[in-house]
Amino acid sequence: MNDSVIAPGSTFTIRKETLHDQVADRIRDLIIEGHLEPGTRIDEARLVEQLGVSRTPFREALRTLAAEGLVVIRPSRGAHVRKLSREDIFSMLELLARLESFAAELVCKRATDADLAGLSDLHDRMMGFYAIRDRMPYYKLNQEFHTQLTALTGNSALIETQGNLQARLKRIRFMGNRNPDLWAASVGEHEEMMAALMQRDGNALGAVMERHLLNAWDRVADTF
Amino acid sequence: MNDSVIAPGSTFTIRKETLHDQVADRIRDLIIEGHLEPGTRIDEARLVEQLGVSRTPFREALRTLAAEGLVVIRPSRGAHVRKLSREDIFSMLELLARLESFAAELVCKRATDADLAGLSDLHDRMMGFYAIRDRMPYYKLNQEFHTQLTALTGNSALIETQGNLQARLKRIRFMGNRNPDLWAASVGEHEEMMAALMQRDGNALGAVMERHLLNAWDRVADTF
DNA sequence: GGCGTAAATTTTGTATACATAATACAAATA
DNA sequence: TATTTGTATTATGTATACAAAATTTACGCC
């Protein structure tokens, strides 16, 4: 039983995050949001100064990001924001396509009706933003849909891996989707997915999902 | 053109590894080889002393291992060797099964005949050790077979993810396979895989591979 | 003797200082 | 002028020192 006066996860709970975790989060955002361009050298002195922390937690944070694949550290030559090659990105999308296709199958087997209703709701809100062509909130709900679908598999390793890939691809995928036709196609695939999902047709859902993510390649392939 | 006197990647090139990388490698081995039991607290002072390094590179190494999922760091309470629950292990095997099944399909499409010959050779050597029931070298070649098969996909993201999962499961899987019947079954699956591989039958190979790794669950499920 | 509290000890987190390697720059040589 | 070599500067890697938190121990109290 929970004896705490304060509800867990509320804004009152003092979340004690170490400095290096905060720094890692911060740099991760800077990279994902594009404030730190791929290939850029990470200027330790400058960032340390800007963030107001010492080098120790900063460097620990860098090691975390390196393990996550967002940053590359060359001994004695500093850290750079990892620059993904075409092949890297294709690899990641190809893998993500399979992972989420798998997730789709599992969800059809394992999720409760309430879970599916939640996804449906997410989908509807997303479509609301498509209707008025509001790109940013659409994009965010889209990400959330994929995250949530994966979460419902209950497979922690899958959830972690999908999350990592999604994070790494985040910026790149946001750059895509600016062509109205491609956006419409993407929306169409989402409609197909919802249909399959409601019937718990795992094979169909998996197939659409894989196609959906492989198509994502076409939507970003020319942007670099 | 390459004017260098020394061939790149030759044994002459001095590879310089930082301390924290060496430490990370060392601790990783200690965990995988079982010298550091899951759940054990990682005694910073003692290990730092033993390894003869200062706390800074040691702690950076810990952060790397944490990102890899081998270690858990709780703020102000130190690091522990991650203890995998039944669910964790099942999750990882379930995912690995799908990943390698995917790898299998890709290899049938993309690998050269020489690549396949290499796998065949690996397989034969493995079977040689099975014939004399020499468990350790069999196990090592087995790992190498799965690694090599994945490598031949050319999908770097897949290679990385498979490697990480395999590393985390290494110790656990070595514990299994002691029952002669289960070992025999595993060997049978490998024979099936080679047959499918030689015909480049991606679907068949993928199916056997997935079954093979899901069966691995049964081989370890009772050991903890 | 058990329990709760407070001091002492240990452990962890962060900052700083020092050592070493890489880069940039300038002078010297061909 | 181009290239090389030595030197200064800067950046990175590692060790140590200090601060804050958690854990353990000791003590007083019921």
* Strand-pair partners of B72: B80
In whole angstroms, what is the distance from residue B171 CA to residue B223 CA? Answer: 12
Report whether pLDDT(A7) > 90: no
DSSP string, B147-160: HHHHHTT--HHHHH
The pair phi, psi for residue B128, each rounded to 5°, is -60, -40
Which tokens hold the place of B183?
């070992």
| CA-to-CA dists, residue A10 to A6, A25, A144, angstroms | 7, 20, 21
B-contacting residues of A 128-157, CB under 8 Å?
155-157
Residues of chain A with Cβ-Cβ distance to B161 below 8 Å are 95, 161
Q: Domain extents for chain A? A: 19-81, 86-223
Class of domain A86-223: mainly alpha
Q: Provide the ipTM.
A: 0.89
B144 Cβ contact partners less than 8 Å away, ≥ 6 residues apart: B122
Among chain A residues, the shortest Cα distance to B17 is held by A75
Q: Say if the Cβ atoms of A63 and B68 lie within 8 Å.
A: no
Q: Of A11-15, A88-92, A175-179, A219-223, where does mean pLDDT reach its minimum?
A: A11-15
Measure B56 CA to D16 C1' (Å). Answer: 10
Question: Which sign does the torsion angle of CA B35, B38, B44, B46 carry?
Answer: negative
Contacts of B142 (CB under 8 A, 6+ apart): B126, B190
Rounded CA-CA distance A159/A61 in Å is 22
What angle is formed at CA B150 by the lines to CA B133 and CA B17, rounded to 5 degrees? 95
Residue type (1 letter), B206: G
Cβ–Cβ under 8 Å, residues B120 and B198: yes
Q: What are phi and psi of B7, to 5 degrees?
A: -65, 135
Tokens of B80: 């522990």
B165, B99 contact by CB (below 8 A): yes
Picking from B61, B63, B161, the nearest residue to A161 by CB comes out as: B161
User: Please, are residues B123 and B145 in contact by the beta-carbon 8 Å criterion?
Assistant: yes
pLDDT at A128: 97
**What burial class does residue B91 get, using C-beta atoms within 10 Å of its C-beta: 0-12 exposed, 13-18 middle, 19+ buried?**
buried
Q: Which fold has domain B19-81?
A: Arc Repressor Mutant, subunit A (1.10.10)
Task: Give the tokens for residue A59.
Answer: 């460097």
Measured CA distances, B43 to B24, B46, B55 (Å): 15, 5, 11
Helix %, strand %, coil % for chain B, to 5?
Answer: 70, 5, 25
| Residuewise pLDDT in 10s, chain B (224 residues) | 344 444 444 455 666 788 999 999 999 999 988 899 999 999 999 999 999 999 999 999 999 999 999 999 999 899 999 999 999 999 999 999 999 999 999 999 999 999 999 999 999 999 999 999 999 999 999 999 999 999 999 999 999 999 999 999 988 887 766 788 889 999 999 999 999 999 999 999 999 999 999 998 888 887 76
If you average pLDDT over each of A52-56, A176-180, B72-76, B150-154, which comes out highest? Answer: B150-154
Cβ-based burial of A214 (10 A; exposed 0-12, middle 13-18, buried ≥19): middle
Cα torsion through B139, B145, B151, B153, rounded to 10: -140
A172 in Cβ contact with A152 (< 8 Å): no
pLDDT tens-digit readout, A114-156: 999 999 999 999 999 999 999 999 999 999 999 999 999 999 9
Q: What is the rounded CA–CA span in Å between residue B23 and residue B32? A: 14
- What contacts B14, CB < 8 A, 6 or more positions away? none
The three-point CA angle B105-B108-B109 to 5° equals: 90
Footprint of strand C on the protein (CB under 7 A): A 18-20, 53-57, 75-77; B 16, 41, 43-45, 55-56, 59, 73, 75-79
- Dihedral sign of CA atoms B161, B197, B94, B215 in order: negative
Q: Indicate yes or no: CB of B68 within 8 angstroms of CB of A67.
A: yes
Average pLDDT for A183-203: 95
Which residues 32-51 of A are in CB contact (within 8 Å) with B?
Answer: none
